[in-house]
Every structure is written in structure tokens, then in C-alpha cells.
């Protein structure tokens, strides 16, 4: 079992989706995350173990490499696709309650901003690390974040912005969320955002990369 989970983790780390996928060249012709996850389930490996000891291990390695500039967006996207292929086999078990996620993360790009690459990377990384992700998309108003949080008690909200002009909307959204429920945790990120701005607008966490978001969520879940 351990060998099979290690292989799944390796497929996630290097972006090996399935046997038909030629990427990465060093794993061409080998079974990928899709086939190996299906095999693990058929052999009776618990879905939670596949997530914890397979997908999460691989995604954590990708996250650390991305932070250290050892891999870049295209490689992370391939890892995310491999993760999605594996998750397609696991999601029925989470939906039925047979397997449990670590928490709920609500994410969106703030009102007035249509950029989504950074948001998508964070969403993929967080999901691969055992959380249910509710992606509200781009140009999201405060009301949508608040409504989603009310439907998912105990969830954490993530706000993304790529433009300096939409940082003002990020501040307004944080204020609106905190006025509605001061206990809601809000983390922020994006190219123009930094810790000084995070402190200024009373957000709970600033992270410069997706792995930082995962580490913050893990700190809350522990």
C-alpha cells in the first residue's frame, strides 16, 4: 500500500495525469494519478489515506518547490490536473460522508478584478491538501463571500487581487465581512498585497504564495 501511495504522490508532484499523458517525458507510458488512485480504491485503501498520504504529500512538495522558484506556473498547473484526476475518484466518498475533509475554504477575486490565475493556483493547492474549496470566481462582492460563509460555518475566506486599483475593494470587503461576523477568518493575497496592507485592513493573514495559505489553514485546523 505504501508503495502505491508513494507512486500517487510522485504523480502529483511531477504532474503525471494518466498513462496517455506524455508529460513529464521521464514518466511517459507509465500509469498516472488517475489509474493509480482507482487501483488504490479497488485494493481497499481508505480514501482518507489516499488523500493524506498520496495527494497531500505530492501537493506539499509542489507548493514548496513553487515557493523556492524550483518549478513555475505551468508545472503547478500540471500537478493540479493530476490532482483533479485523482480527486474525481475520491469526491464520491467525501460527498457521502465516508471520508472527511479538513475544512472549508471560500475563495474569490475581489470586486472589480477579473484576474484568476493566482486564485486558481491557491484553490488547487488548498483542495489538494485536504480542504473543500468553494470558488466564487472573479469580481466577487462582499455579500457573496458573507453568504457563502453563512452557509458553511467554520469556513475560512480567501481574497485575491492583482490590481492596485482593486485593493480598495479588498479593504471594503474585509470590513464588511468583519462587521457581519468578527470571528470569520480572512486571508488575503495577490501581487500588490503585503503584510503592511494586511495589518492595515484588519485581515487575519497575508500569504505570498499558495503553500503559505495551506500552512495558515493547517494552523487553524490543528
Residues 66-118: pLDDT tens digits? 999 999 999 999 999 999 999 999 999 988 888 889 999 999 999 999 999 99
- Topology (CATH) of 104-221: Rossmann fold (3.40.50)
Look at residue 100 in the predicted model and tell me its pLDDT: 86
Q: Does 1 score more than 70 pLDDT?
A: no
What residue spans define the domains of the chain?
2-96, 104-221
Report the residue count for the chain: 222
Residues 116-168: pLDDT tens digits? 999 999 999 999 999 999 999 999 999 999 999 999 999 999 999 999 999 99
Is 132 exposed, middle or buried, given 0-12, 13-18 or 19+ CB atoms closer than 10 A? middle
Check if the beta carbon of residue 154 is closer than 8 Å to that of residue 103. yes
Copy the grid coordinates of residue 196: 503592511
Class of domain 2-96: mainly alpha
Report the C-alpha gap between 157 and 149 in whole angstroms. 8
Amino acid at each position: 500500500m505504501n508503495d502505491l501511495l508513494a507512486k500517487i504522490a510522485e504523480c502529483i508532484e511531477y504532474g503525471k495525469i494518466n498513462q496517455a499523458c506524455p508529460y513529464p517525458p521521464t514518466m511517459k507510458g507509465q500509469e498516472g494519478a488517475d489509474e493509480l488512485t482507482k487501483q488504490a480504491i479497488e485494493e481497499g485503501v481508505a480514501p482518507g489515506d489516499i488523500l493524506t498520504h498520496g495527494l497531500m504529500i505530492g501537493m506539499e512538495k509542489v507548493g514548496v518547490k513553487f515557493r523556492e522558484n524550483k518549478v513555475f506556473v505551468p508545472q503547478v498547473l500540471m500537478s493540479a490536473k493530476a490532482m483533479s484526476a485523482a480527486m474525481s475518484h475520491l469526491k464520491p466518498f467525501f460527498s457521502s460522508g465516508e471520508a472527511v475533509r479538513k475544512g472549508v475554504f471560500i475563495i474569490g477575486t475581489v470586486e472589480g478584478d477579473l484576474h484568476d490565475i493566482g486564485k486558481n493556483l491557491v484553490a488547487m493547492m488548498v483542495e489538494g491538501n485536504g480542504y473543500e474549496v468553494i470558488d466564487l470566481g472573479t469580481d466577487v462582492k462582499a455579500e457573496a463571500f458573507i453568504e457563502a460563509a453563512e452557509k458553511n460555518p467554520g469556513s475560512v475566506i480567501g481574497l485575491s487581487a492583482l490590481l492596485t486599483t482593486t485593493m480598495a475593494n479588498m479593504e471594503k470587503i474585509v470590513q464588511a465581512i468583519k462587521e457581519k461576523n468578527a470571528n470569520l477568518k480572512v486571508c488575503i493575497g495577490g501581487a500588490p498585497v503585503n503584510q503592511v496592507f494586511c495589518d492595515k485592513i484588519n485581515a487575519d493573514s497575508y500569504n505570498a504564495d499558495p503553500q503559505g495559505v495551506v500552512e495558515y489553514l493547517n494552523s487553524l485546523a490543528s
